[in-house]
Amino acid sequence: MLYMLPRKRTGEGEVVAAGCSFKKICVSEGLASQSDTSDKSSLGGSGCAHSNNSFTIGNSSSSSQEQVPIAMALGNGNPPQIDEDLHSRQLAVYGRETMRRLFASNVLISGMQGLGAEIAKNLILAGVKSVTLHDDGVVELWDLSSNFAFTESDIGKNRALACVGKMQELNNAVLVSTLTTNLSKEQLSEFQAVVFTDISLTKAIEFDDYCHSHQPPIAFIKAEVRGLFGCIFCDFGPEFKVLDVDGEDPRTGIIASISNDSPALVSCVDDERLELQDGDLVVFSEVHGMTELNDGKPRKVKNARPYSFFLEEDTTNYGFYQKGGIVTQVKEPKVLNFKPLREALADPGDFLLSDFSKFDRPSLLHLAFQALDKFVSDMGRYPIAGSEEDVQKLISIADGVNNGLGDGKLEDINPKLLRYFAFGSRAVLNPMAAMFGGIVGQEVVKACSGKFHPLFQFFFFDSVESLPTEQLDPSEFAPVNSRYDAQISVFGSKLQKKLEDANVFVVGSGALGCEFLKNLALMGVSCGCQGRLSVTDDDVIEKSNLSRQFLFRDWNIGQAKSTVAAAAASSINPQFSVEALQNRVGPETENVFDDTFWENLTAVINALDNVNARLFVDGRCLYFQKPLLESGTLGAKCNTQMVIPHLTENYGASRDPPEKQAPMCTVHSFPHNIDHCLTWARSEFEGLLEKIPTEVNAYLSNPREYTSSMRNVGDAQSRETLERVLECLDRERCDTFQDCVTWARIKFEDYFANRVKQLIYTFPEDAATSTGAPFWSAPKRFPRPLQFLASDPSHLHYVMAASILRAETFGIPVPDWAKHPHKLAEAVDKVIVPKFQPKEGVKIVTDEKATSLSSSSIDDAAVINDLIIKLDHCHSTLVPNFMMKPIQFEKDDDTNYHMDLIAALANMRARNYSIPEVDKLKAKFIAGRIIPAIATSTAMATGLVCLELYKVLDGAHKVEDYRNTFANLALPLFSIAEPVPPKVIKHRDMSWTVWDRWIVKGNPTLRELLQWLKDKGLNAYSISCGSCLLFNSMFPRHKERMDKKVVDLAREVAKVEIPSYRCHLDVVIACEDDDDNDVDIPLVSVYFR
């Protein structure tokens, strides 16, 4: 059965079916288009297995179905166009070639309980060609705690059919179909990858043998989650080629010297660490002197260091190194020889470890999963939660399997662990499904594209630490005819009640937030009478969100993220008690998120995308002693951090070093990589099209006040701003589109010819520094001026983008011929470009510590007065009420010419300096500061966090039970460890950590507060409130304040306005002990009412 999603048009209430035409169709972001016969959806080939050569169009729950010949959907197999607006964040991770391979891949997912649904969701969002959902079972109440696509009305329906409508809704460019009968191995030949989440070992071996020997091999993945235990097996064939093992850009370095030696020592400038490893291959280019290395031949690195390495090559007889040169890492493909499942079961090889405190766990779980398969085969069912008889049966089977392992026999099969395994073996928990759905989804992407290193071959994981700390009676695990019965079978009914009554705050509802809301709704968090979940996000939905923020649809674009996400999560579980807010969490919204709000919370979950917001929430959780569950993603990487009151350090206790910024002089005059060129290009874009027009409008709105302000400031920056405003309204004013073309052409000459001519006139190629060293030595690159050629498409494209945007700022209509190359070239030919003559004495900033390019002079005030006179005269010549239209940079609209101009500016500048150019997409990633993001790492991170949430809400776990995680799905790497405890400070018989806050009641005076500290053996010498000093022992006048109330001092001295709802004031106190040693004490809260 094949289902196409009913589509709702933006702004309309009716639902229409997409793709219901008998003509060839093009499914993209909008409705199916019948005008384009290129079949961009590529809905054809071996998309899926069908019966009777027909499929059904319509919603899966619809009673009326229309039979259409299957040939309608078959395309010519041409790869579809990539929607870069939709997939921009994913493209930043995968690149175009990987995306094209994905778009041509057909995937089968068998088993549509929670894990199958999560895998399908991630792959549909990623944009594979087709996903076929297979399941011959029906939806049970038990399934509702793990599959977000099921509702109570689906109970009794086939699982695949119940899922397909909502799955298709995620991405209309992916063909989503169903199979509801038993699979035959021959049907697998229609797919590039097959995933089984609920299959016996016998059947899995049969299917894997077929896939392994098929030509070409079919990637086979067997994955399952059983309670808090999970396993994955991958077999991508006897010889699988990994095209890019880690997805990182090749390392590059700027050469400083190369020795004539054997082996040769290559040293690079200390601009950036090389990060090369022994055995890496590198190629050389642009080397002067030792030109033998410029032959493009890969050479092996050894003894790699941060800024140097040795070459396994004798350069004794090579030319003497003079200057220049770039070294670039060569990334080679890697071939992996996978074993079929039947061989790997007996000889699994090395297991991929995740938690090094469980070194022996993978081999034990390898045994446990085989024992469970035999139990199900023998009994026809899974062990019953709470049944000791079933536990003993499973242990007996495991013991028998272990005894047959010969030399591989385990010394201890850990009956206690097998007991936990048996109790939860029927349950598919949502957090486990989310985590494994992310991992398996990524493995399918690897199988279809060759991008990133596959999991080789078994992976086992457990989170038994998530179980309640108290021993539970077997009756606790009994089903209660609830949608949470599967979860109850693992954790018991007491913890389920705690989940339902929790008061949770989710900060952010983007990619992480959508996943969290889905997970929490399925887990039953805040779904009880006393439970409440608040989610806040001040952002609105954009098209680029849709490829990973799965609760949003294209008809939601422009709507508030939190509102849409909350509504979507409520549809997953109608009992979900969720409130959507649109407030940014920060100092400015403390009236919304007040003391009462924070005090009533059970836990806080961050789903943020910036460090400052994370630090603020961390500070609030620290202050109110609330657990904070933190996570983040970057491409295929993700991390989680648990911040638990009094048990762990807080988020702000450790910080990443700040990103290294290129010196201003490098960006403006001496770029040596494309990042510098793009930084300059974006700066010029914002200056020309946003900042200057904004300044012009500020002047035009109130000329007298604006010029008076400039006179009063009277510095070099004011002078320069006035010069720009005058230039924009006078010499560079545009009245027609031809004026805009003239402006763009002359800007080209200024940027890429004249400025370079001036630079090399001031610093010729043979210039030397004050020490006699060559001025143009690495990392500086000697530039060459460009000559404008109307025949060069890149030159013409720059003019087009620049002139169109210039016209927009002046409100000038853009004629049709502006986008016609020949007519635009004719307009450019009309421009008279002034001759340029380099000037003597021009100062070009070369100091890397300089923060401004403006230089002050003694006559700034006189120049400013002269500029104001000219500006007033110019103002009188403008049309009445003239105002400019500043342009704010928007990276995610490919039709607005913003990125066209920035990419053109950057590439022309790169051409000046012989720096490799980039396409518009790569330029967008860098200039737009796009954070790479994919659905798989997001899903994994939220699954891991929700496994920790069980511990938080249970409330009795120790620090060693919690886990922080760093994972890189590209490698793959999983690093799981206990959190770091907070630093303990001791004084006399007291001890405290950053989590403690001292409370002083009774509205004390300053003298009483000092005495209160004195009684603890602490001598306070400084007390501050906010940024204001209330007391310092060195200031005699402060002794006059001794008998004033602390709160009155804060009001009088610090001008603190205390809200009516607040009963205390926080002060920071610096203390010494009796031996004059500083003692770092907690924050002190002074209660005054």
Task: Judge contact between 139 and 118, C-beta under 8 A.
Answer: no
Task: Round to whole Å and give the CA distance between 846 and 668.
Answer: 10
Residue 255 forms beta bridges with which residues?
A: 268
Owner of token pair 């793990």? 146
Task: Round to whole Å and give the CA distance between 233 and 935.
Answer: 21
Task: Judge contact between 143 and 114, C-beta under 8 A.
Answer: yes
Q: What distance separates the 2 farthest-apart alpha carbons in the chain?
A: 99
Task: Judge contact between 438 and 122, C-beta under 8 A.
Answer: yes
Cis (ω within 30 of 0) for the bond into 216?
yes
Q: H-type helices in 980-1058, by residue range?
A: 1006-1014, 1046-1052
Tokens of 731: 């010499």
Tokens of 74: 């078959």
Owner of token pair 């630093």? 983
- Residues that are catalytic: 665
Tokens of 132: 């076929």
Ranges assigned E (strand) in 943-1048: 964-968, 973-977, 985-987, 990-992, 997-1000, 1019-1025, 1028-1032
Sign of torsion over alpha carbons 525, 526, 530, 532: positive
Ramachandran class of 275: left when φ > 0, alpha when ψ lies in -120 to 50, beta otherwise: left
Buried/exposed code over 71-104 (b: 16+ C-beta within 10 A; e: otherwise): ebbebeeeebebbbbbbbbbbbbbbeebbbbbbb
The count of other CB atoms within 10 Å of the CB of residue 358 is 17
Q: Are strands 193-196 and 281-285 parallel, antiparallel or unpaired?
A: unpaired
Q: How many residues does the chain have?
A: 1089
Query: Which of helix, strand or coil describes residue 1064?
Result: strand
3-state secondary structure 577-594: CEEEECCCCCHHHCCCCC
Task: Round to whole Å and give the CA distance between 334 and 313.
Answer: 24
Task: Judge contact between 901 and 890, C-beta under 8 A.
Answer: no
Task: Round to whole Å and give the CA distance between 686 and 860.
Answer: 25
Task: Round to whole Å and give the CA distance between 821 and 836.
Answer: 27
Q: H-type helices in 106-216, by residue range?
A: 114-126, 159-170, 201-213
Task: Judge contact between 661 and 651, C-beta under 8 A.
Answer: no
Query: Which of helix, strand or coil describes residue 308?
Result: strand
Task: Round to whole Å and give the CA distance between 1049 and 1023.
Answer: 11
Tokens of 835: 């001759």
The count of other CB atoms within 10 Å of the CB of residue 106 is 22
Which letter does DSSP use for residue 535 in this model? E
The count of other CB atoms within 10 Å of the CB of residue 759 is 19
Task: Judge contact between 1028 and 1054, C-beta under 8 A.
Answer: yes
Q: Which helix (H) or strand (E) holds 499?
A: helix 493-500
C-alpha of 798 from chain center: 31
Task: Round to whole Å and give the CA distance between 674 and 473.
Answer: 64
Sign of torsion over alpha carbons 1005, 1010, 1011, 1013: positive
